[in-house]
Structure 1
Amino acid sequence: APLMLRLAWHSAGTYDVCSKTGGPFGTMRFKTEQSHGANNGIDIALRILEPIREQFPILSYADFYQLAGVVAVEVTGGPDVPFHPGREDKPEPPVEGRLPDATKGSDHLRDVFVKQMGLSDQDIVALSGGHTLGRCHKERSGFEGPWTANPLIFDNSYFKELLGGEKEGLLQLPSDKALLSDPAFR
């Protein structure tokens, strides 16, 4: 489930409000987007999903990848997420470098989420809560470990762990710590 949520986010997180490019339009199916540095390991999710997707040719890749994220949240105990089909697959991927860089702080987060995507500080905090699922793998991101004690349950433990300070065995990325250090995020 964590990989599916990551796939859905990495597909959507490339959106640029000014150029109206990027976003959840199925372009992760292209090797060029899979090879973007931030997408290391996404190919695992795609390999798992492809035999399932082939059974439902009526669904676009765009809808299928977002549906995988919706299901990931729901089966791990998260809220019911409304799913609205109808996305069309785009013919080419966005340029590399649109996803947030985990090594950077609040200014960078705002550059990506607010300026690029047209979202708000509140959205940054809410979307960061997705880190309640999954973990980082050193060979993919340079970081190692889960954010929470139970990375297969979607709940608010990411925020509890973040507010509780650093703990042995749990990960806090610089981008996570920015949520604490910048008063506008609190």
Structure 2
Amino acid sequence: MVLLSFISTVPSLLPSPSTYTTLSRCSRHSGVINCKVEANVNNADGVSRRDILHCFVSTISMDLIARSTSFVEVANAADLIQRRQRSEFQSAIKGTLAESLKGNPDLIPSVLTLALNDAITYDKATKSGGPNGSIRFSSEISRPENKGLAAALNLLEEVKKEIDSYSKGGPIAYADLIQCAAQSAIKSTFLASAIRKCGGNQEKGALLYSAYGSTGQWGLFDKQFGRSDAQEPDPEGRVPQWEKASVKEMKDKFSAIGFGPRQLAVMSAFLGPDQAATEEALASDPEVTKWVQKYQRSRETVSQTDYEVDLITTLTKLSSMGATNQL
């Protein structure tokens, strides 16, 4: 005799009783049928035990396919729900940050520098540092390179309290908050520029930004949400004092993290409190000046496309260096 176990589905696929002698002592346990099949098959009908086994395997396969399809449908539905909840939470965060920055426009440059200094601690050799929220520690925010950034950090700490009050998934990480704040700061500057170009009309300015802005460029940035916070400050000496650094020192630092003159020029708004002074210094370098001039021309256009796209792309790459995702 041959002992077979198979899931009890689609019994009509089995051969008819005339093809084999008996199915003896069949019993069901937890949705599984155990049967002993007699070996003396009706050879006249040309059906062997292999045929029976093939039918049983086919039955099992069809059942597993049906069940796996059901599992996939459930998993897809759960994934869609999770993505929708994530998207809604991110939208709420952006709204909270936008309102906070709107009420404190003087802190926008500091917010940008805060995000840069938190992320640019990344060290490729040791795979340490990066956008991990370590700048929140008092021993790091008090370093010379972070002078003047405490007010921006204090603002974000207040924002964090509000976000945590409506978060259903636990507190937002400082690592995410700081980089998302930089995103909101950049968006607010482009929106403000569009409003100015519309003579101060906010409705027309918002429409102009919507029409010419690079909303789609933020897609990859949003997917990085879920960074983990560092549990200690990053090592000292990884961030220059931007307002005192030479162009060569800035170039060397950007080169160390895989950036070149183009990214250095487009990030001039992050490098110290005076963007105009930084750009003037950068323009003195033959490798950087063409990019400085390119972005200056772009900012004079209605759409600012070249400047906006390159700035968003650079910030996105910077904000992902060595980031540990917790989702």
Q: What's the TM-score, normalizing by structure 2?
A: 0.41
Contact kept in structure 2, 1:5 and 1:72, CA below 8 Å: yes
1:35 lines up with 2:142 in the alignment: yes
After superposition, the Cα gap between the structure-2 partners of 1:60 and 1:178, relative to the gap in structure 1 and judged at 3 Å, is same
Q: 1:42 to 1:18 in 2, by over 3 A?
A: same
SS of corresponding position for 1:15: coil
Q: CA deviation at 1:51?
A: 2.3
Q: Report the Cα offset of residue 123 of structure 1.
A: 1.3
Match of 1:183 among 271, 276, 286: 286
Q: Which runs of 5+ in 1 are unaligned?
A: 137-145, 148-157, 159-171
Q: Which has the higher helix share?
A: 2
CA-based RMSD = 2.2
Shift of 1:60: 0.8
State the distance in 2 between where 1:177 and 1:21 align: 33
- Partner residue, 1:110: 251
Determine whether 1:6 maps to 2:109: no
Q: Report whether the alignment pairs 1:88 with 2:228.
A: yes
Which moved further from structure 2: 73-82 or 10-19? 73-82
Q: Structure 2 vs 1, CA of residues 34 and 16 (structure 1 numbering), >3 Å: closer, same or farther?
A: same
Q: Which one-letter code corresponds to 1:181 in the other structure?
A: S
Q: Deviations over 1:5-61 (max 9, x none)?
A: 122112112222222222110111110111110111222112112122123343211
The structural deviation recorded for 1:129 is 4.2
Counterpart contact for 1:12–1:23, Cα < 8 Å: yes
SS at match of 2:121: coil
Quote the residue 1:119 is aligned against.
Answer: 259
Contact 2:119 2:130 in 1 (8 A): yes
Task: Measure, in 2, the Cα distance between the counterparts of 1:50 and 1:94.
Answer: 19
- The C-alpha deviation readout for 1:128-168, integer Å capped at 9, x for no partner, is 2446xxx73xxxxxxxxx44xxxxxxxxxx5xxxxxxxxxx
Distance 1:20 1:96 in 2: 15
In 1, the alpha carbon distance for the partners of 2:154 and 2:269 equals: 26
Cα separation, 1, equivalents of 2:226 and 2:239 = 24
CA shift for structure 1 position 95: 1.9
Contact 1:17 1:118 (C-alpha < 8 Å) held by counterparts = no
CA contact (8 A) 1:63 1:87 kept: yes
TM-fit CA distance, 1:3: 2.3
2:180 matched residue in structure 1: 67
Alpha-carbon contact 2:109-2:269 (below 8 Å) kept: no
Q: Which blocks of at least 5 consecutive residues in structure 2 are unaligned?
A: 1-107, 165-169, 192-213, 291-327
Identity among equivalent pairs (%): 32
Give the 3 Å change call, closer, same or farther, for CA 85–46 of structure 1 in structure 2.
Answer: same
The structure-2 alpha-carbon separation of the partners of 1:19 and 1:178, relative to structure 1 and needing over 3 Å to count, comes to: farther
Larger-gyration structure (1/2): 2
State the SS of the aligned residue for 1:77: helix
d(CA) in 1 for partners of 2:135, 2:249? 23
* Aligned-partner Cα distance in 2 for 1:41–1:52: 19
* Closer/same/farther in 2, CA of residues 111 and 71 from structure 1, 3 Å limit: same
Instruction: Report deviation, 1:178.
Output: 4.2
**1:20 is matched with which residue?**
127
More off after superposition, 19-28 vs 64-73: 19-28
State how far apart, in whole Å, the 2-side matches of 1:112 and 1:177 are: 19
- Alignment partners' CA distance in 1, 2:284 and 2:113: 25
